[in-house]
Amino acid sequence: MTYGDGTRAVHAGLPAPEPGQPFLPGPVFAAPYHLDPETGPGRDGYGRPDNPTRRALEAAIGELEGGPALAFASGQAAITGLLLATLRAGDTVALPSDGYFTVRAFAEGALRDLGVRTVLVPTAGPYPAFDGVRLVLLETPANPGLDVCDIRAVAAAAHASGALVAVDNTTATPLGQRPLELGADVVVASGTKALTGHSDVLLGYVATGDEDLLARMTTWRAQTGGIPGAFDAWLAHRSLATLDLRLARQSANADAVARLLADRTDVTGLRWPGLPGDPSYALARAQMRRIPGVVSFDLGGAERVARFLAASRLVFAATSFGGVHTSADRRAQWGDDTAPGFVRLSCGIEDTADLLADLTDALDAA
């Protein structure tokens, strides 16, 4: 039987029911485990290569993404693991020029020093020929500009040239988009954002149906140690149960916020892929199962952004996104290549009417 998103999120990765046991067993805190004196380690011998709490989370994420998953200490750790496990000196990697800036910084520093060449491509294209490219990393919707690319079309072109295709699914989450079903070889994401949604966990993961790549990534993670702790893994798994509910309210709030901002003359550069008229609207509607709760816009300068945030009662000034609280981040303050007044607004799960009223008052005051 095929279940809906809410049912899948609630039951993903849970063990079979056992009388006297909780639905989701508590975290297993262990570095070493008891070993069999004769045969040595079984599945669990030392906490870095494996942990039962982490396995349960990986099973849950794998069910939602549609391929076996590996959890990492952060999204950046997961992307770093993917890049270093697949690229060698002389290889070329294609990265989004408008995606997460730390990935570009890593490529232009550490990867370049290892002899890996980088090609930067805007998420919305145009895309070059991929001849000689080893790995194509897409981020769609892009963070923070929210452009969308056609995963199926880019994957087909990349595969024709012999390249692997990875998709950063952080913004969409697996309930919003299933890149493996659209032709990608691997999904990479930060679970810190909407996947866990409570602003209390740092987490990343990769998911892939490629057994060879999964084995290489497993070895790479075990040897480098970029693992999440047991409690973080348990918190993340616990949070998955409300993913469908949280995304529904966040998306509905983003829809209302985008329409509010579209009617204001003091807001420019508005982007939300679910808004008719957005450059990515048609593709997002065709490719995505739901539009995320992130809206971007420009208030004209850093000073006005500061006044807006100071006047708001419901919008927290914070980086990251996807949490249950509405937050706003002026990306230029982190060195991101955005205008001084550019704002990434992450809609939380507040009542829509309250959020709209607060935004209106804060923008008027600013």
User: Is the link from the previous residue into 144 a cis peptide, with omega within 30 of 0?
Assistant: yes
Q: In the block, which residue shows the tokens 């995606």?
A: 99
List every span in the chain annotated with CATH 3.40.640.10. 5-240
Question: Which secondary structure element, helix H or strand E, spans residue 187, and what is its range?
Answer: strand 186-190
pLDDT at res. 40? 79
**Entry field: residues in the chain:** 366
pLDDT at res. 29? 96
**Among the listed residues 189, 208, 197, 286, the one whose alpha carbon sits nearest the alpha carbon of residue 248:** 197
CB-hemisphere CA count at 13 Å for 41?
Answer: 10
List every span in the chain annotated with CATH 3.90.1150.10. 243-365
The dihedral formed by the CA atoms of 217, 218, 222 and 226, expressed in degrees to the nearest 10: 60
Give the CA distances from residue 185 to residues 66, 224, 275, 302, 320, in Å, rounded to whole numbers and listed in that order.
11, 23, 30, 40, 26
CATH class of 5-240: alpha beta
User: 243-365 in CATH: which number?
Assistant: 3.90.1150.10
Taking the chain (366 residues) in consecutive chunks of 10 residues, what is each chunk's mean pLDDT?
94 95 95 90 90 98 98 98 97 96 95 97 96 98 97 98 98 98 98 98 98 96 96 98 98 98 98 98 97 98 98 97 98 91 98 98 97
